Amino acid sequence: MDIQFFLGLVHNIAVMLLFAWGYDRLWVRFQLHTSVLARVLAGLIIGGICIILMNVPSVVYDGVFFDMRSVFLSTIGLFIGGIPTLLGMIVASVYRLHMGGDGVYMGIASVLSSGTIGLLCRYFSKIPVFQLKWYHFLQLGIVVQVIMCIWVIFLPEHTRMDMFASLSVPILTIYPIANVLLAYLFVTLYKTYNITSRLKEEQTRLAGIIEATNVGTYEWNVQTGIVTINERWASMIGYTLDELFSVKIDLWDKLVHPDDLSKSYSLIQQHFVGEYPITNVRYYQ
């Protein structure tokens, strides 16, 4: 494997990861899994990414193109499934047929087998796909690339063995690693999306509780001294939220009765040093 081929692989992997990240953001942002029409759109996007990958190939040899579409489609099949993957396979196959060359039938066979293997793993896996481990993704990549190496039978006989001898080792080593990297990208984005969704749900639930109970709330950032309050808290001391838009803790000194101020600060200091887990202060203006 020469340095140009290796650099081509790295470049193709980088392009694949970039577009896969963008696709996943679209999948989450526009909820592309919510309707058949949205899934069709998702499939067209997948096909478009495959076309881009085929136009930045790792190597071109007598019309034989090597790129990351097998890695991309197998991973998409595993994580996205169904209509998007099938439509992406169709678009990629039609475009590869249009490109022509000695490797056209090998390229189409690789597209169809890669996406199909990903789909089979998705629907027959006993473990939820986002709970799979790195070695599962590596196994997927190895199977996909072994099958792709078999498709050299579609190459012209005079180039078949030379191509297999020169490219089988990098394909069976680097490509499966790319499968692992892409899979971990999807897993990371999925976990981030879930965490963000749960946080939004908790914020909505908490806001509903605060509104229903009509309580005043404030949050004091001890490091900056900035206090965040709600409308009810402001009204309890005779102000509107707009009037107290930028609040710092020194406002406390102005609002609390002098007889209660030293007591409240004393209790707060005791809380800071761990003497009291909760500070409960009654004070007057």
Q: Which of 245, 249, 244, 246 is nearest to 222 (CA)?
A: 249
Are 13 and 68 a contacting pair, CB within 8 Å? yes
pTM of the model: 0.73
Rounded Cα distance, 219 and 240, in Å:
17
Rounded Cα distance, 132 and 141, in Å:
13
The encoded tokens of residue 105 equal 């039938």
Asked whether residue 214 carries a pLDDT value surpassing 70, the answer given is: yes
pLDDT at 34: 66
Report pLDDT digits (tens) over 145-203. 999 989 989 988 877 887 787 778 878 888 899 899 989 988 888 888 888 888 989 98
Q: In what order do the strands lie in the sheet with 218-220?
A: 218-220, 226-229, 247-248
Q: At which residue do the structure tokens 């206090």 appear?
A: 227
Report pLDDT digits (tens) over 233-270. 888 878 887 777 666 666 777 777 777 777 777 877 88
Domain 3-201 has CATH 2.30.30: no
Report pLDDT digits (tens) over 24-44. 666 666 555 567 888 888 899
Q: Where are the domains of the chain?
A: 3-201, 215-272
CATH of 215-272, one of 2.40.50.140, 3.40.50.2300, 3.30.450.20, 3.40.50.1820: 3.30.450.20
209 CB contacts (<8 Å, ≥6 apart)?
none
